[in-house]
Structure 1
C-alpha cells in the first residue's frame, strides 16, 4: 500500500509519529546525552549512548513500562508529578524543565520561588548606562536589590539603608519622606499593594511575603485595609509625579520589564517626562557623590 506520493504507507506513518511525538523525542534526546558512569550505572557494552530507558525510570521512581510509553507517545498525558520526577532524573535545568512541561502538559510548571542574592554585573551596567533615568531591580517581594545613581538621587538612596529596609512597601507605608513626595499617596499606595500582591502570587512567593504582610498590617492600618480589599494590578507603565525636596515637582514615565530567565526579578525604569525634567535630574546626579551600593 502506498500513499499519494508513492511512499510506503508504513514508513510514512513512522515519520508522522516521530514528528508529532515531540515529548518522546525530547526525552530521548536528553537521555542519550547523560553519562551512565556519572550516575553509578555500569557502562559495559551498550548499543546506544546515554542512559537506558529503565535507568531513567529507576531514577524517576516510575515503572520502566510507563517511561517507555512516554517516549513512544503512548499512554496519555503524564502528570505534573511524573514530569517533575523525570526532570530531576535527567538533571534538567529550569528552562529545560519548563520546556518539558510545555511539551507534556501544554503549560509551564508551577513557579518555584527562589530568593535572589543580587544581580549580575552586566545587569548593573545596564542600569548605570541610564544616566538621567532612575532605574532599579526589585524582587517579587519588592525588595530593591540594584539601582543606579539617578534612582538614588531622585527616589531613595537605597545604599544608605540596611538591606532589610530596602523594600518598596516598607518605604511607602513607613517613610514620611517617601509619603510626602507622592502627589496622591492614597492612589499610589492602593496601586502598589495591588501590584505587589499580583507579583508575589505570580512568582510563587505568597508564603515568603506572609511575614512582611503581617509586619505592615501591624505598622499601618492603611496597609491592612488595602490588603483586605484583595485588589490586584499590573505595574506595566504610567506616569509618576513627585515632589522632590531639591528639584521641586517632576514627572517620570515609568515602565516595568521582566528580567528574562529570572522570574523573581523585575526592572523598573523611570524616564523623565520632559526635557526640563531630564535636565533637572542630570544636574542633581552630577552634583552628588557616587552613592554606596553595599
Structure 2
C-alpha cells in the first residue's frame, strides 16, 4: 500500500511532464487560442486516446484507479512515449509490463562483442530468450562448435542440443540438463504465446526432435539462473563449469552467459583448450557469422 501511495504522485507528475511536451501540431490538431500551459490539454489526450476525460483526469491526478494495458498503450501512443518511457508508465501504474513483440533484437553492438571477447579464455555467449545465439567469443566456439553442430547450421542452442547425436553433444547428463533449458524457454514463452515467430519455432523443433516435443509437453517452468554443468570436448575431456547470466541494457530478453571453471582441473583444461586452439574444420569466424545471418533471415526475432 505504501509503495502504491508513492507511485501515484510520481505517475501524475510523469504524465503531466509528457503531456506538456506534445504540441497540438504533433497530433494533427489546430493550435487553438489562449493555451495557459504548453502541450496538450487533458481532454485532448483523453479524446485522442479514446478514454473518458474524467478517467484520464483522475489518472493524471494520481487517484487510485485501475488501468489496463490497452488503455496505457493508447495513452503512451498519444504522448509519444519511447520504449523506456512506456515501461516506466507501466511500472508507475502498477500494470505488468510486456515489451513490444518486435522490440527484441538479433543484432549485437560492437561494444557488447568487445565485452565477451575480453572474457576469453572464459566461454561467453549472447542469447535471446529463445536461445538464439547472437554473438560468441573464441573460447565459446572452441568448446561448443564441434563439427556436427556446425553441420547442423542452426545458431540456436536448443535446436543443436536436441538434434545433435549423443556422442557429439557437448553437454554431459543431457537427460537432466535439457529439460531445465526447456523449462527456462517456457518461462519466456509465456510472454510470447501466439506470436508467429515463437509458435513456428516450437512447431519446427518439435517436428525435428520428438524428445523436445515430449519435454515441451511436460509444461515445466523455471526462470534463468546460475547452474553447474559438465561439458565434454574431444581435445581436453570433461569440464565442470558454472554458468552465470548477465542482463544487457537496451536488449530486452537478452543476456550474456559466461561459463567459469568450477575447479582448478577445469580451469587447467580450459587453458589447454585455448593454447591448442585450431581451426580444424570450417566454417571460419566469418562462416559462423553467415550461419547466424541466414538463421535470422529465416526465423525473425520473436
Out of 233, 239, 251, the residue aligned to residue 222 of structure 2 is 233
Partner of 1:37: 25
Normalised by the length of structure 1, the TM-score is 0.82
Normalised by the length of structure 2, the TM-score is 0.80
8 Å CA contact retained: 1:112, 1:204: no
Residue 78 in structure 1 maps to residue 67 in structure 2: yes
Shift of 1:130: 0.9
Residue 280 in structure 1 maps to residue 288 in structure 2: no
Root mean square deviation, CA, Å: 2.9
In structure 2, the gaps of 5 or more residues are 291-302
8 Å CA contact retained: 2:8, 2:63: no
In structure 1, the gaps of 5 or more residues are 1-16
Shift of 1:29: 0.8
Residue 260 in structure 1 maps to residue 249 in structure 2: yes
Shift of 1:163: 10
Closer/same/farther in 2, CA of residues 119 and 177 from structure 1, 3 Å limit: farther
Closer/same/farther in 2, CA of residues 98 and 157 from structure 1, 3 Å limit: farther
- Separation in 2 of the partners of 1:192 and 1:18? 38
Residue 174 in structure 1 maps to residue 163 in structure 2: yes
Partner of 1:90: 79
Deviations 1:163-183 (A, max 9, x none): 971111110111127753332
Shift of 1:138: 1.1
Name the stretch that deviates more: 271-280 or 236-245.
271-280
Closer/same/farther in 2, CA of residues 271 and 79 from structure 1, 3 Å limit: same
1:127 counterpart SS class: helix
Matched length: 274
- Separation in 1 of the partners of 2:235 and 2:143? 9
8 Å CA contact retained: 2:239, 2:270: no
Shift of 1:151: 1.0
Note the 1:1-294 alignment, pairs <5 A: 21-43=9-31, 44-74=33-63, 76-104=65-93, 106-114=94-102, 115-156=104-145, 165-176=154-165, 179-201=168-190, 203-204=191-192, 207=195, 208-273=197-262, 274=264, 275-285=267-277, 287-288=278-279, 291-292=285-286, 293-294=289-290
Name the stretch that deviates more: 181-190 or 275-284.
275-284
Name the stretch that deviates more: 217-226 or 186-195.
217-226
Shift of 1:136: 0.8
